[in-house]
Amino acid sequence: MNKKKSSILIAGGGSTYTPSLVIMLLEGQERFPVRKIKFYDNDAERQAVLAEACQIIISERAPEIEFEYSTDPAEAFSDVDIVMAQLRVGKYAMREQDEKIPFKHNVVGQETCGPGGLAYGLRSIGPVLELVDYMEKYSPDAWLLNYSNPAAVVAEATRRFRSNSKIINICDMPVCLEDIMARVIGLKDRKDFETTYFGLNHFGWWTSIKDHDGNDLMPNISAHVKEYGYTEQTQQGQHKESSWLETMWAAKELHEIEPKYLPNTYLKYYLMADSTVAHANKNYTRANEIIDGREKYVFEECRRIVANGTAKDTTFASNEHASFITDLACALTFNTKERMILIVENNGAIANFAPDAMVELPCLVGKDGYEVLSIGEIPTFQKGLMEQQIASEKLAVDAWEQGSYQKLWQSFTMNKTVPSAKVAKEILDDMLVVNEPYWPKLS
Ligand code: NAD
Ligand code: G6P
Ligand code: MN
C-alpha cells in the first residue's frame, strides 16, 4: 500500500525556524511523506523573503512537492492535514519589551518566564485561538501542533476555550536536553533511551532515563551535570551561543538543589532569579542577540539564495525543533505510538496535582491523539513550586478572559520571579502601555 502523503501548513511562515523545518520535511520523505507545504503569516513581506528561498530549496530537492504561501486564511488553511504553528505575536520588538521591562525593576526579564512570559501570553492567546478556528473551518480533520510561546499559557487557554479541538501544545527544550544527555554519555541521540519526566512547560524534572535494555543511565548523566551542567564538548545542537551556555551551566546548581532528578534549564529563572538578574546585561538582552544574530542570518541567507537562484550550498539545516514536531506529525499520521513529552491536561496523571492543570508529561502518540502516562505522586518541593506557577499561569488566562487588571496583577504577584505586589504593579503598569495594541482592554 502507498504511504499517505500529508499537506503541511507552517503558520508563522515568517519564523526564523521555518527553513530548518522545511529542510527536515524534505529529508524525512521516506518516514513522513509530504505532498504539499504551505506557509501562512500575517506579515506578507517578512514571509515572502523566506518563502522565495524555500521555494528554491523545495524545487531543487523535491520538485514533486507543491508549495504555496499566503496571508489569506481561506487559501492557507484549505487542504491541510497538519498545521505547525510558530507565531510570535508582536515579533522581536515586543520580546525586547518582555525582557527589558522586568529587568528595569530588577526582576527576571525572559521570553516565557516571569512577567515577560505572562505578558507574551496575553498577546498570544487570541491569535492562536484564531488559528484553531481557521483550521476547523477550512480543514476540520487536521491537527494543530503548537510551538507558539508561551506554550504553558497558550495551552491553558486552548484547554479552556477549545477543549474539543485537535490541538497539541509542545516544547522543544526536553528533546534538546535529551540529545545533550545522550551525547555526553556517548550515545547518538535521545532515541537511544526512554525517559520519564514531569512538571509544567519550562518547569520540570527527569526522574528516570533508561536504555532500551532497561539499564539505568541517570548516574552517568548526573555525574556529568554535577560537574558541567548541560555544557558539552561539541557545537552540535540548537542552544550553543554564549548566553545559552550560561543557562546550560546553571543546570549544575539546579541539580544540587534536587540531586535525585535532572532539571529543565528554565528552572534557573525561578530558583536562581537573583543571580540571573545580577548577571544580565539589561540593555542588550536575548532579543537583541537574536535580532543581530539568528534573525539577521536567516533573512540574509534567504536573500542570498534568491539572488543566486540556487540553495545547493545553503548552510540551512534541520535541527531538534524541526525533528520533534515532524516526529509528532508522523506519530499522529501513522499511529506509531511513539513516546513523546507533551503539554497536556493532568487529569490524574500526577496523582497529587490539580486535574485541570496543564502539565508536561510523557505520552504515547497515535492516530487518535495521545495517551498520557501516569506518574503517581510527586514530592512536596516540586509540587509546591508547580502549584504556585500554575496559579500564576491560570490567573493570566483569567485576566485575558475577563479583561481584568486585578487578575493580571495577581498573576504577576503570584509568580516566584516577582518579590512583591508593589513591584508586580510597577511592571504591569509599564507593560500595559507597550502591549496596548495586543492585549484585551483591562479594567
Ligand atoms: P519570528 O518572529 O521569527 O516568527 C514568528 C512569525 O509569526 C513572524 O513571521 C510573524 O509575522 C508571525 N506572526 C505573528 N503574529 C501572527 C499572527 N497573528 N498571525 C500570523 N502570523 C503571525 O519568531 P521565532 O523566533 O522564529 O519564533 C516563533 C515562535 O516559536 C515563537 O513563539 C517562539 O517562542 C516559538 N518557539 C517555541 C518553542 C517551544 O519550545 N515551544 C521553540 C522554539 C520557538
Ligand atoms: C528553547 C525553548 C523555546 C524557546 C527557545 C528560545 O528552545 O524550548 O520555548 O522559544 O528556547 O530560544 P532563543 O534562541 O529564541 O532564545
Ligand atoms: Mn519551549
> How confident is the model over 379-425, as pLDDT tens digits?
999 999 999 999 999 999 999 999 999 999 999 999 999 999 999 99
Instruction: Please name the residues in contact with 97: beta carbons below 8 A apart, sequence gap of 6 or more.
Output: 90, 119, 431, 434, 435
The reported pLDDT for the residue numbered 38 is 99
The reported pLDDT for the residue numbered 174 is 98
The reported pLDDT for the residue numbered 2 is 84
The reported pLDDT for the residue numbered 116 is 98
Question: Ligand 1, atom 11: nearest CA belongs to which residue?
Answer: 43
The reported pLDDT for the residue numbered 192 is 98
Dihedrals phi, psi of 42, to nearest 5 degrees: -100, 5
For every one of its 443 residues, what pLDDT tens digit does the chain have, with 9 covering 90 and above?
689 999 999 999 999 999 999 999 999 999 999 999 999 999 999 999 999 999 999 999 999 999 999 999 999 999 999 999 999 999 999 999 999 999 999 999 999 999 999 999 999 999 999 999 999 999 999 999 999 999 999 999 999 999 999 999 999 999 999 999 999 999 999 999 999 999 999 999 999 999 999 999 999 999 999 999 999 999 889 998 888 999 999 999 999 999 999 999 999 999 999 999 999 999 999 999 999 999 999 999 999 999 999 999 999 999 999 999 999 999 999 999 999 999 999 999 999 999 999 999 999 999 999 999 999 999 999 999 999 999 999 999 999 999 999 999 999 999 999 999 999 999 999 999 999 999 999 99
Nearest to 327 by CA among 32, 62, 86: 32
Instruction: Please name the residues in contact with 167: beta carbons below 8 A apart, sequence gap of 6 or more.
Output: 132, 143, 144, 145, 146, 158
The reported pLDDT for the residue numbered 241 is 87
For ligand 1, residues with CB inside 6 Å are 12, 14-17, 41-43, 46, 86-89, 91-92, 127, 147-149, 151, 170-173, 321
The reported pLDDT for the residue numbered 242 is 86
pLDDT tens track for 221-252: 999 999 999 999 998 899 988 889 999 999 99
Question: Ligand 1, atom 3: nearest CA belongs to which residue?
Answer: 15
Query: Average pLDDT of the chain?
Result: 98
pLDDT tens track for 155-174: 999 999 999 999 999 999 99
DSSP states along 158-193: HHHH-TTS-EEE--SHHHHHHHHHHHHTT-SSGGGE
DSSP states along 329-374: HHHHHHT--EEEEEEEE-TTSBTTS-TTSEEEEEEEEETTEEEEPP
Nearest to 146 by CA among 196, 201, 79: 201
Shortest-distance atom of ligand 2 to CA 241: 14
Question: Ligand 1, atom 13: nearest CA belongs to which residue?
Answer: 87
Task: Point out the residues that are catalytic.
Answer: 172, 266
Dihedrals phi, psi of 399, to nearest 5 degrees: -60, -45
Q: Say if ligand 2 is within 6 A of residue 378 CB.
A: no
Overall pTM surpassing 0.95 (yes/no):
yes
Residues with CB under 5 A from ligand 3 (ion): 171, 173
Shortest-distance atom of ligand 2 to CA 286: 16
The reported pLDDT for the residue numbered 1 is 61
How far apart, in whole angstroms, are the C-alpha atoms of residue 17 and residue 40? 14
Shortest-distance atom of ligand 2 to CA 202: 8
